[in-house]
Amino acid sequence: MKLVFATHNKNKFREVKAQMPSHIELLSLTDINCFDDIAETEDTIEGNALLKARYVKDHFGIDCFADDSGLEVEALDNAPGVYSARYAGPEKDANANNRKLLDELQKESNRAARFKTVIALTTAEGEKLFTGLCPGVIVKSPRGEGGFGYDPLFQPDGYDRTFAEMPLSLKTEIGHRGKAIAQLLEYLKVE
- 69-108 pLDDT, tens per residue? 999 999 999 999 999 999 999 999 999 999 999 999 999 9
Which residues are catalytically annotated? 68
Mean pLDDT of 123-129: 95
Contact 46, 52 (CB under 8 A): no
Whole-number average pLDDT of the chain: 94
Q: At residue 31, does pLDDT exceed 60?
A: yes
- DSSP secondary structure letter of residue 156: E
Write down the pLDDT at residue 191.
52
**Euclidean distance between CA atoms 191 and 185, whole angstroms:** 10
SS3 state at 109 = coil
Q: Which of 2-11, 44-53, 134-143 has the lowest mean pLDDT?
A: 2-11
Domain extents in the chain: 2-190
Sign of dihedral through CA atoms 179, 147, 30, 84? positive
Write down the pLDDT at residue 11.
79
What does each C-alpha distance from 164 to 6, 79, 113, 161 come to in angstroms? 24, 21, 16, 8
Q: At residue 187, does pLDDT exceed 70?
A: yes
pLDDT band at 67 (very low <50, low <70, confident <90, very high): very high
Write down the pLDDT at residue 19.
84
Mean pLDDT of 156-167: 97
Contacts of 188 (CB under 8 A, 6+ apart): 1, 24
Q: Which of 62-66, 115-119, 167-171 has the lowest mean pLDDT?
A: 167-171
Q: At residue 190, does pLDDT exceed 70?
A: no
- Torsion, CA 87, CA 92, CA 93, CA 97, rounded to 10: 10
| Long-range contacts, 127-130 (Cβ 8 Å, 24+) | 127/50, 127/53, 127/54, 128/187, 129/46, 129/49, 129/50, 130/180, 130/181, 130/183, 130/184, 130/187
Q: Could you give the count of Cα atoms lying within 13 Å of 142 in the half-sphere of its Cβ?
A: 19
**Euclidean distance between CA atoms 92 and 170, whole angstroms:** 26
Q: At residue 172, does pLDDT exceed 90?
A: no
Domain 2-190 carries which CATH code?
Answer: 3.90.950.10
Q: Could you give the count of Cα atoms lying within 13 Å of 43 in the half-sphere of its Cβ?
A: 0
Higher pLDDT, 173 or 74: 74
